[in-house]
Structure 1
């Protein structure tokens, strides 16, 4: 068997674009050359990777199974090349970072500060769902991931998790709302009020930790949206009130500037922990180690400052 990296790359490009023509454009090859690489790979493996008809090209069952492994091989090679190049200096290299929704919002500021100190280290950011952060790490598509704590089902011995920060749940209400003037806001104060929540397991998890009445209130929220920015704007427009994590100074400033009030929720106090994730079986490159240390110091300093 003599599988080449060019064959694997052609396989991935055709699978992702769904077309020999588009794949050939991305690879800067002729269509016949790409087709030849796929045929060579199929012959080498003695499998059919694509189901071909006159109108459609699609992955075969075998192709679906082999595609993630092909990506992993190329990602391993990319990681090898990055590590080799970054070994010349701690101040050079590339860091690939994945961050879930809440964490991703704070990353541009961190990366901008990091670039001032380490201008020769490039940090690429992939924003995605919390579940996809772990998948990208497993597939070696990123070096580090930042996201919420894992559920019991998600724990994996091949993942290392280092606590980055912890945020309490808050409620955002208009300034004229009765809750805005309360010194203490309890979860039960939200009962029978129109709630705006985010879709997905992040909010569903906190519902499981509350009493049955409040859990039903969250599950049956008046509005469910995909982005925190949408929820905050709907709150500003009077559609309801929204749950929030005070994860960015820009968010806190936006809330205040738009006649909204952010109030911590108590009885019970609920919070979410955010971690830096990496593959425990792989050593980080010098560039990734440098960024990880900077990331930890950045948030340690930030939360120390706001607690004063």
Structure 2
């Protein structure tokens, strides 16, 4: 065999960091050793894996084509090494989740997973749909749990579960006691909503078709808790997932508004890279997501 697993590690780390020095640091290698391994891999096959743009290394077209298979080979080798140990070791997982799922669903799922695998190393990255999709596509994350609709040639996108957005206001808002909110009412409001690129914003925009250009978007915030606090302070009305509003509704610090003529239903999705090797850890996590888990029934959310 004319290449080594170490060479693949350096190639992939350089692809992630776009810099040999940072790749070497991530692999606990010297810069010269990492640079030598990368050069040797390219020279052995007379290929160019990266285009040099100053200090930045960007994958060449060939590098882009080879990266998914290199990721798969290295993950298979890691899984094989774990199996050789005979200890049924569950490897690490890098999970990405959008804000609502990350804060209100994924943490409980991780707790369920770690009850069966206490030593499992799980990292959770919380960001908006666009960011999570980009990180799964670049192999920085093993999979993603997202709220927004998505189309991406490199990703498998599977329906996961349904969710619903709710329009809400402070309890002393003049619409709080209204039985039915009309389009005219909606157009009069100061809206406090999520930022562009988030699944919640995507669902809100879709629900407001026909009047969206005329809505007054007073504030765009990246965090659900910030939106809830702003609405509680009387700065406007909001629209978020029902799952992150239930406690506030129960306390009475916020109240739901009835908007019967608008469709606030949406889907949540599971995303994985089409060419990613599914380790035992990832397979078990996906089974947990889909309710097929052998570790017992996950807690309701």
Please give the range of the TM-score, normalised by the shorter of the 2 chains: 0.7 to 0.9
Residue 265 of structure 2 corresponds to 271
Residue 173 of structure 2 corresponds to 177
Matched, 1:242 2:242: no
Residue 59 of structure 1 corresponds to 57
Residue 124 of structure 2 corresponds to 125
TM-superposition CA deviations, 1:33-64 (whole Å, max 9, x none): 23323432443434383547xxx51226xx35
- CA–CA separation in structure 2 for the residues paired with 1:77 and 1:284: 11
- CA–CA separation in structure 1 for the residues paired with 2:75 and 2:234: 49
Residue 191 of structure 2 corresponds to 195
- In the TM superposition, what is the alpha-carbon distance from 1:273 to its structure 2 partner? 0.9
**Taking structure 1 as reference, are residues 66 and 185 closer, same or farther at Cα in structure 2, changes over 3 Å only?**
farther
- CA–CA separation in structure 1 for the residues paired with 2:257 and 2:297: 22
Residue 29 of structure 1 corresponds to 29
- In the TM superposition, what is the alpha-carbon distance from 1:194 to its structure 2 partner? 0.6
Is the contact made by 1:86 and 1:94 (CA closer than 8 Å) also made in structure 2? no
- CA–CA separation in structure 2 for the residues paired with 1:274 and 1:227: 18
Matched, 1:229 2:225: yes
Residue 106 of structure 2 corresponds to 107
**Taking structure 1 as reference, are residues 72 and 232 closer, same or farther at Cα in structure 2, changes over 3 Å only?**
same
Matched, 1:159 2:156: yes
- In the TM superposition, what is the alpha-carbon distance from 1:2 to its structure 2 partner? 3.9
- CA–CA separation in structure 1 for the residues paired with 2:280 and 2:12: 29
Query: What TM-score does the superposition give when structure 1 sets the normalisation length?
Result: 0.74
- CA–CA separation in structure 1 for the residues paired with 2:15 and 2:5: 15
Residue 306 of structure 1 corresponds to none
Q: Which runs of 5+ in 1 are unaligned?
A: 304-308
The total of aligned residue pairs comes to: 291
**Taking structure 1 as reference, are residues 58 and 136 closer, same or farther at Cα in structure 2, changes over 3 Å only?**
closer
- Which segment drifts farther, 288-297 or 96-105? 288-297
- CA–CA separation in structure 2 for the residues paired with 1:86 and 1:48: 31
Q: How does 1:279-290 map to 2 (within 5 A)?
A: 284-290=278-284
- CA–CA separation in structure 2 for the residues paired with 1:228 and 1:268: 21
**Taking structure 1 as reference, are residues 190 and 28 closer, same or farther at Cα in structure 2, changes over 3 Å only?**
same
- In the TM superposition, what is the alpha-carbon distance from 1:274 to its structure 2 partner? 0.7
TM-superposition CA deviations, 1:193-218 (whole Å, max 9, x none): 110111114324543453422x1244
Secondary structure at the aligned position of 1:172 is classed as strand
Matched, 1:10 2:15: no
Is the contact made by 1:75 and 1:141 (CA closer than 8 Å) also made in structure 2? no
Query: What TM-score does the superposition give when structure 2 sets the normalisation length?
Result: 0.76
